[in-house]
Each structure stands twice: as C-alpha cells, then as structure tokens.
Structure 1
Amino acid sequence: MLEEVKNDIVTALGLDDDNDLLDHLVEGSSRYIKDLKLNLKTALNVENMSAKEAHLTGLAIAVNNKSPKLVKYFKVKSQELEASEEEIAEAIACASLLSANNIFYRFRHYVGSEKYDSIPARIRMNIMAKPVLGKEFFELISLAVSAANGCEMCVKSHEQSVRNLGTGEKRIFDAIRIASVVTSVDKLLV
C-alpha cells in the first residue's frame, strides 16, 4: 500500500523511481508518506489561486530551495498550464531577487542598527516596478519566498503590500501553504 502511495508521488512529480528517502518511508512503514501525497495535492489544488499561479509559486519555491527535480516538474507543469516563457522567467527571477533581499533585510532586522538602516541597499530591483506577473501576484510570490527564507521584515512588508492590493487572507494562506509543502517535498528528494 505505501509503495503505491510512493509511486503515485513519483509519477505525479515526474521523478525517477530511485529515491532513497521516499523508499525509507515505505520500508519504515511511515504513514507520513500518505500525508505527503495529500499535502501536495491540497497545496496545488487551491481555491484562491489558479492552477497556473499555484504552479508558478511552486516553481519559485523550488528555485529558491535549489531543487532541480522540483524545478523541472514545476516548469513543465506551468508550461502545460499556459504560463508564458516570460512568466516562468519572472517566477525564477523573483526567487533570486528575494533571496538577496531576504539576506540583506534579515541582517538589518537582526542587528537593529540605525546606521545600517540609513545606508542604501544598492540592490537593483527593477523587476518589481512592472512585473510581467502583475504587481499583486509578484508580491504574493515574494511573500512566499520570504516566508521560506525566514525573513520577518520581508514577510511583513510583502504581506502588507498584497493586502493593500486587495488580496485576502485565504489567498495569502494558499501561497504560504504551497511554500511549506514544496519545501517539505524537497527535503525528501535527494
């Protein structure tokens, strides 16, 4: 039974069948593998985001987590859901930009120095001015990546930004759930 669940995950994500950690879960009779399958399904079939948005968010998180297997899956799936090459590129770029911002602003937040706060960041962020994905969705992905990276200052800033753009809590929560579930799946794909 657990072998079937593992095979369902492997098939759904287009993975090869050779995965030591998923095999460990099966061999150890871990019921978590069932949870993993359900969590993945629930995270990607959300009510407050389109399937394309959910998969582009997953792509940004997979890029952020440096997970080539999940990057491949989310890129292909996003293309199947009619994401343009520009939208895919922007989700990828968003993960990179936010990684830089998260480190920079997390440092400022941790240190709490007025001197550091007064020095210009000098990190180019032109992509944020007119995102291909639209301002609201770009900010939503930025929020998800910032949450995955643990930058409190960035999470608060992007959450406020998407709320100011009219985004409700359920849509925000869906994006955060995607980030957390994609990260949890990534931990098992070595």
Structure 2
Amino acid sequence: MPEVGLDALRAALPEYAKDTRLNLGSVLGTSQAPDQQVWGAAVACAIAAGNATVVREIVAEALDRLKPEVVDAAKAAASVMAMNNVYYRAKHLIGDDAYQSLPARLRMSVIGRPGVDKVDFELWCLAVSAVNGCGTCLESHERTLREAGVSRDTVHDALRVASVVAAAATTLAAEEALTA
C-alpha cells in the first residue's frame, strides 16, 4: 500500500531538506493545540503555499483527523486570506494613509460565519497571513486571538505550522521544477 498523507509528504522531501522533513513530524505531532487548530492551519497553509503535492498530502492526512466540513472551513480561510492578504498588504505598502479610510468592498462573509469555532478560523487566517507575508493581517488576527484568550503558545504553534508547511511546498516546487 503506497504512503499517503504526512508519511508520503515526508518521504517526498529530498535529503537536503531533512530539517523540513523532521520538523513536519515534530511540529504537526507535538503541538499542545487541538488537532482541529493544528490540522486546519496545515490545510490552509498548504493551499496558501500552492504546491499540489503538499496540498494533496496535507488534506489527505487532515481528512483522517478532521470532519470534512472542518477541512472545507480551512480551505475557505486560505481562499479569503489569499484575497485579503494581497489587498491589505498593498494598502499598507503604498504608505498613503488616505487608503486606510477607503472601504474594501470585498465580500468576506465567511469570516463572520466560518462554519467552525471562530477562534480556530482566526488562527488559520493568521497562519495563512504568515505564509503570504501580510503584516497588517498578522497584527489584526493576532490581536483578535489574544483578545479571545488564545495563548501566545498557540499563536506560536500556528506560526510554526505555517513555516514548515511553506518550507515543504518551496522544496517540492523546486524539486518538481528540476525534474520536469
């Protein structure tokens, strides 16, 4: 039987990415946060990182651990943050305060009704914002999480998930490009 999920993802990483391979197992396997928070963040970050192998294997593993509607909510977090991270990062980088008062006029109703606990969804949005490099969104989601009573350790775990999933995606994208 072929490997699937996290085992397949780790096996796909080349030897030079041993740290990433080991970190995938330790970060996703040792978090003190609930599986829904960890694996939802992994799904959202895999999608944000954009490598098909990483998306396929992380989602396969997540579906063994989470209900399908939770995985769909994590996908929704990746989707809405793909839009928001570009928009809010661009407004920030322009550096003209006049843009801050202009309304986004972009639909983002999923943030208000994500279909899962709002804290989990916020955590996934924070993790995706780390992958996408949007400081404005990172600050906003971290503040919301902290106000909701989420510990810095949980926020830190989400950032660690984002970093190792993004590293796996970068590595495999490079390997796929070199073997194409």
TM range (shorter): 0.7 to 0.9
Normalized against structure 1, the TM-score is what?
0.82
Tell me the distance in 1 between the aligned counterparts of 2:10 and 2:135.
Answer: 36
Match of 1:149 among 132, 147, 158: 132
Q: Does 1:65 align with 2:59?
A: no
Unaligned segments of structure 2, at least 5 residues: none
- Equivalent of residue 39 in structure 2, options 40, 55, 61: 55
When Rg is computed on C-alpha atoms for both structures, the one with the higher figure is 1
Equivalent positions of 1:18-33 (< 5 A) are 22=14, 25=15, 30=16, 32-33=17-18
Write the letter of the residue equivalent to 1:44.
Answer: L
Partner of 1:120, secondary structure, is coil
CA gap of 1:85–1:151, structure 2 versus 1, over 3 A, is same
Letter in 1 for 2:47: V
Task: Say which structure, 1 or 2, has more relative contact order (CA 8 Å, 6+ apart).
Answer: 2
Aligned ranges for residues 108-127 of structure 1 at < 5 Å? 108-127=91-110
The structure richer in helix per residue is 2
Indicate which of 143, 146, 155 corresponds to 1:163: 146
In structure 2, distance between residues paired with 1:16 and 1:42: 11
Q: Distance in 2 between matches of 1:86 and 1:36?
A: 29
TM-score in terms of structure 2 length: 0.86
Residue in structure 1 matched with residue 8 of structure 2 by the alignment? 14
Q: What secondary structure is seen at the aligned counterpart in 1 of 2:171?
A: coil
Q: CA offset at residue 39 of structure 1?
A: 0.8
- 1:36: Cα distance to partner? 2.2
Deviation per residue, 1:90-144 (Å, 9 max, x gap)? 1111111101111111111111223212221011111111222211110000101
CA shift for structure 1 position 16: 10
Question: Which moved further from structure 2: 123-132 or 168-177?
Answer: 123-132
CA displacement 1:138-190 (0-9 Å, x = unmatched): 00001011111111111000000000111001000000000000111111212
Amino acid at match of 1:40: L
**Aligned Cα RMSD in Å?**
2.2
Residue by residue over 1:67-110, the C-alpha shift from the partner in whole angstroms, topping out at 9 and shown as x without a partner, is 111111121211111x2222111111111110111111111111
Q: Displaced runs of 4+ in structure 1, greater than 3 A?
A: 9-13
**How far apart, CA to CA, are the structure 1 residues paired with 2:10 and 2:122?**
34
One-letter identity of the residue aligned with 1:13: D
**Aligned-partner Cα distance in 1 for 2:45–2:153:** 19
Work out whether residues 40 and 181 of structure 1, in 8 Å CA contact, stay in contact via their aligned partners in 2. yes
Q: Check the 8 A contact 1:59/1:70 in 2, yes or no.
A: no
Number of residue pairs matched by the alignment: 171
Structure 1 portions without partners, runs of 5+:
1-8
